[in-house]
């Protein structure tokens, strides 16, 4: 009995060290060598300062920026509280919020259909992408605020539109952070508000 107990304890210690420490360190090391950008969160830097990640959404509220999808993660874009609202389609709170957002967006672009991802949050609450239709909806406002033509703005949107993965998975999408960074580089606002 004592021999079996000692063997069990030693196996527990050995597998904990091997599978809980050594294996994760080896896999992380390999990932950092083969995919350094992905292994480090695809962070985006400007002037030596980290300003975001290509794979996590963040809030852009200024009128000269393309706005991200709504976030239900914590207090908005909180990676520690990732998740949707879990409000069903008949929930009065969700219905009222969508009505308010729709009214606000109709005032921005009267008579234009509002893309659904402008008034709904993603399942994670951290989606860094918007649909091309959502970007198209925002072009007049962004162009006006930047003092550029809608065609110049549209060209940037097209440049940042990514197709379906492997040609058939997912939908076409636009990374909001990358698009807004290029806008700032090519057509800076007089006073940057984000």
- pLDDT tens for the chain, 194 residues: list them: 899 999 999 999 999 999 999 999 999 999 999 998 888 888 888 888 888 888 888 888 889 999 998 887 777 777 777 777 778 889 898 899 899 989 989 888 888 899 998 888 877 778 899 999 999 999 999 999 999 999 999 999 999 999 998 988 989 999 999 999 999 999 988 754 44
13 and 103 in a single domain? The answer is no
Query: Does the residue 65 lie in any domain?
Result: yes
Residue 156, in any domain of the structure: yes
Residue 193 in any domain: the answer is no
Q: How far is CA 47 from CA 37, 44, 50, 56, 128, in A?
A: 18, 10, 8, 20, 22
Q: Do 35 and 86 lie in a common domain? A: no
Tally of domains in the chain: 2
Co-location of 61 and 141 in the same domain:
yes
Shared domain for 35 and 51, answered yes or no, is no
Residues 2 and 87 in one domain: no
Confidence (pLDDT) at 52: 85
Say if residue 107 is in the same domain as residue 30. Answer: no
Same-domain check for residues 84 and 150: yes
95 lies in the same domain as 128 = yes
Given this model, what pLDDT does residue 192 score? 47
Classify residue 80: in a domain, yes or no: yes
- Domain identity same for 18 and 110: no
pLDDT at 142: 94
Please report whether residue 191 resides in a domain.
no
The pLDDT of residue 76:
74
pLDDT for 152? 95
Please check whether residue 192 lies inside any domain of the structure.
Answer: no
pLDDT at 191: 59
Domain holding 179, by residue range, is 41-186
Is the overall model pTM greater than 0.95, yes or no?
A: no
Please report whether residue 194 resides in a domain: no
- Per the CB < 8 A criterion, the answer to whether 167 and 157 are in contact is no
Same structural domain, 94 and 1:
no
Q: Residue 52: what are its φ and ψ, rounded to 5°?
A: 165, -170
Asked whether the beta carbons of 59 and 76 are under 8 A apart, the reply is yes
Residue 188 region, left (φ>0) first, then alpha (ψ -120 to 50), else beta?
beta
């Amino acid at each position: 009995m004592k021999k079996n107990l000692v063997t069990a304890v030693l196996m527990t210690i050995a597998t904990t060290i091997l599978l809980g420490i050594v294996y994760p360190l080896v896999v992380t090391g390999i990932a950092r060598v083969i995919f350094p950008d992905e292994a480090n969160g695809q962070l985006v830097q400007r002037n030596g300062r980290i300003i975001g990640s290509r794979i996590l959404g963040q809030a852009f509220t200024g009128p000269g920026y393309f706005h991200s999808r709504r976030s239900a993660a914590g207090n908005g874009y909180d990676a520690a509280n990732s998740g949707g609202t879990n409000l069903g389609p008949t929930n009065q709170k969700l219905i009222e919020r969508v009505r308010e957002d729709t009214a606000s967006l109709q005032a921005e672009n009267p008579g234009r259909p509002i893309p659904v991802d402008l008034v709904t949050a993603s399942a994670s609450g951290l989606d860094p992408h918007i649909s091309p239709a959502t970007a198209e909806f925002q072009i007049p406002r962004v162009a006006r605020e930047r003092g550029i033509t809608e065609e110049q703005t549209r060209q940037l949107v097209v440049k940042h539109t990514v197709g379906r993965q492997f040609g058939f998975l997912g939908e076409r999408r636009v990374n909001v952070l990358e698009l807004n960074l290029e806008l700032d580089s090519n057509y800076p606002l007089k006073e940057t508000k984000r």
